[in-house]
Chains A and B, each alone.
Chain A
Amino acid sequence: MLSTKSLRDRRKAGSRVAIIHQDSYGSRLDSRLVEGLRLFDLNLRGKTVLLKPNLVESIPGREVNTNPRLVGSAATAFLALGAKTVLVGEGPGHQRDTLLVLAETGLERELQERGIRFVDLNRDDLMKVALQTQFTGLEFLWLPRTVLASDFVVSMPKVKTHHWAGVTLSMKNLFGVVPGVVYGWPKNPLHWRGIDRSILDINAAVPPHFVIADGIVGMEGNGPLHGSPRNLGRIVLADDPVAADFVCMRLMGLNPLRVNYLAQAAEFLGNGTTDRIVQLGEPMLAPQEPFVVLPEFAHLRI
């Protein structure tokens, strides 16, 4: 692990997390999300909001991607709360044909019905952004102009286990803002620099302002593609990605401090300790059975 001692402490005095009980992607989703977001009293008036879901590819019978209904509901909710514009953007890491993923997952239709524009972050105009942290040793990252120009970036991960990173939540989800056109499919330079280190550098460069984590149906086991669906029945909202991921992991019955990048992020990027996280909405209840993890990640279980 690299030392985070020399890094500027960017943690808020307190972060807020809300856990919302929601069993399905049914009709009450829009209203539940608006209710949940209102707990945060966000000032979105006149702002451009970018929703960044986790789209990998469509595999029949697998809960791989952030559910399109949740993305659509979030878009509608942010517009209802005063946002000037809501965009949805993603740059899938394996499938080069982003629009095919969009069509096959059903997100294209969902967004069309709601009049929301999608941006392929793999092929956006790019800007060179100097990194303020040096976990990967990279001096800069090329990042999409759409992400950098947005006032309010919302990471919308699927709550999943991940066979390389342990879990993929709101921070790992930011891999999708790194453009494939420069870094390839998959974004292999980041793998060689270390997934944990890359997650830290990316999140320090473009920290999301908010998180809506899809834990209604998550994935356990051999995620992020071939794990089994796991009904968690929760949406996690947070104004701090580190706090969001800590809470999501506890909901999964896993110990966030045993994920390197989360333990390090909690030292400078966001809050992980309960004394600095204000719990809104429903109380946190860990599952009776923790999420199934691959043997390599057995140490994550509480």
Chain B
Amino acid sequence: MISSFARYERQRLARCRLLDELLRRQLPAGGGWSHRGAQFGTEPTALALLALHSASIALKDGIAPLIAHQGAEGLWAAVGDGDGINFWATALAVNTLSILGTNPATYIESIRALVRLRPVEGSWLVSLKFRFLDRHVQFDPRKYGWPWVPDTVSWVAPTAMTLIALERAKSRGIVGGSELQRRLRLGTEMLIDRACPGGGWNAGNAVVYGVPLRPHIDTTAAALAALRPRYGLPIVRHSLRCLLRNSACPSPYSLAWMILAADAYKDGGMDISPAINSARDHLTSLVEDPRTIEDTSTIALAALALGSEPINNPFEVEG
């Protein structure tokens, strides 16, 4: 049995190594972070900024790399010198700027664009198609969230991240109104509708050709984080119990997501501490040498998940 102090110290040292690695990977001239190479990525940059902020590490360039890659209508692409819009990347960037205390004027247009956005099933014609003609994938198109990119249907991960970002903006008084409320409600209903029959979430196809598909750990975690205000729902509590069974997951990316999502439920009445402690121990082992982890987002998420408790959790919905 590892003593509490030894466990804490191992996790602290692992986190220090992760943060050092993040600093080492910063692109030249304060250019943010890349997924695994030399190209700016919105996700790794947002997550790295959150991880460093959680450890009170100040950067000379601060949020500049994220702001520098903000595009038209305040939206972000997935990779910096890429064009195109990515709503997962945008929601992550907005959530990050909000947590970092950036002036809301910087991202209010982004929030308005997220609220305005309709996935393709938001059109009545496409909705009718999915309700009556194309039923191979079972879902209710009247309940829609956010897509990854324009002109496609909504999926679990971008919907969850957008709900988290919008709830935070709402709770801080940055945005409000009936349309926001409607989109928050629809997005929440969409997540509940897309839950796998056995609990949890995958990309967003719960039943295809009559066959229930398996949930994925990271999307289950993201959806649960977004649905924290709905803890009273049986599907949420059941999915949380399913998620907590994954503390031996062999991948640090999923494991870090699991810890962060579960942490958001620490005051929910279910005893989640044993699963989180076990997952943190396992994650500590998996990230022993961060230089061997190619994906920068994984390093940042692991640094967040191994934060000293109470975790400074950027995916905990405020309100």
Contact = CB atoms under 8 A, between A and B. Distances in A.
B203 A186 contact: yes
Interface stretch (A28-36, A47-55, A74-82, A176-184): A176-184
A99 B34 contact: no
B294 A125 contact: no
Task: Point out which of B39, B77, B251 has the most chain A C-beta atoms below 10 A from its C-beta.
Answer: B251
B78 A125 contact: no
B254 A182 contact: no
- Select the residue from B39, B203, B219, B295 with max chain A CB neighbours within 10 A: B203
Contacts of A183: 148-149
B35 interface: yes
Given A189-B152, A225-B213, A184 B158 contact: yes
A120 interface: yes
Given A94-B203, A125-B38, A184 B149 contact: yes
A11 to B, nearest CB: 33
B38 A226 contact: no
A185 to B, nearest CB: 5
A58 to B, nearest CB: 9
A97 interface: yes
A120 B84 contact: no
Contact of A184 (B43, B120, B147, B294): B147
A124 B151 contact: no
Contact of A124 (B36, B216, B218): B36
Interface in B143-158: 147-149, 151-153, 155, 157-158
Contacts of A186: 155, 203
B35 A124 contact: yes
A1 B120 CA distance: 24
Determine the interface band of chain B, counting residues with CB < 8 A from chain A: 35 or more
Contacts of B295: 99, 120, 123
A183 B147 CA distance: 10
B253 interface: yes
A192 B39 contact: no
B86 A182 contact: yes
Interface string A112-131: 00000000100111101000
A185 B148 contact: yes
A188 B149 contact: yes
A59 B215 CA distance: 11
Which of A99, A192, A222 neighbours the largest number of chain B CB atoms within 10 Å of its CB? A99
A128 B295 CA distance: 21
Contact of B157 (A96, A120, A124): A96
Given A126-B82, A181-B79, A182-B86, A188 B214 contact: no
Nearest to A145: B37
Contacts of B151: 189, 192
Contacts of A185: 148, 155, 157, 203
Interface string B290-305: 0000110110000000
B220 to A, nearest CB: 11
Contacts, number: 113
B112 interface: no
Interface residues of A, number: 33
B72 interface: no
A263 interface: no
Contacts of A128: 82
Contacts of B217: 97, 100
Given A99-B253, A124-B37, A188 B78 contact: no
A124 B35 CA distance: 7
B251 A163 contact: no
B176 interface: no
Contacts of A192: 120, 151-152
B41 A181 contact: yes
Contacts of B64: none
Interface in B121-177: 136, 147-149, 151-153, 155, 157-158
Contacts of A125: 34-39
Nearest to A59: B214
A222 B211 CA distance: 9
A184 B155 contact: yes
Interface centre among A126, A145, A184, A189 (most CB of B within 10 A): A184
Contact of B253 (A100, A163, A189, A226): A100
Interface of A: 57, 59, 94-97, 99-100, 103-104, 120, 123-126, 128, 142, 145, 163, 181-186, 188-189, 191-192, 222, 225-226, 294
Given A96-B219, A142-B79, A188-B153, 5 more contacts: A100-B217, A100-B249, A182-B84, A184-B86, A186-B203
14 contacts: A100-B250, A100-B254, A103-B250, A123-B294, A123-B297, A125-B34, A126-B82, A163-B209, A181-B35, A181-B79, A184-B88, A185-B155, A185-B157, A186-B155
**Which are the 7 A-B pairs with shortest beta-carbon distances?**
A184-B148, A125-B37, A100-B251, A123-B35, A188-B152, A103-B250, A125-B39
Interface of B: 34-39, 41, 43, 77-79, 82, 84, 86, 88, 120, 136, 147-149, 151-153, 155, 157-158, 202-203, 205, 208-209, 211, 213-214, 216-219, 249-254, 294-295, 297-298
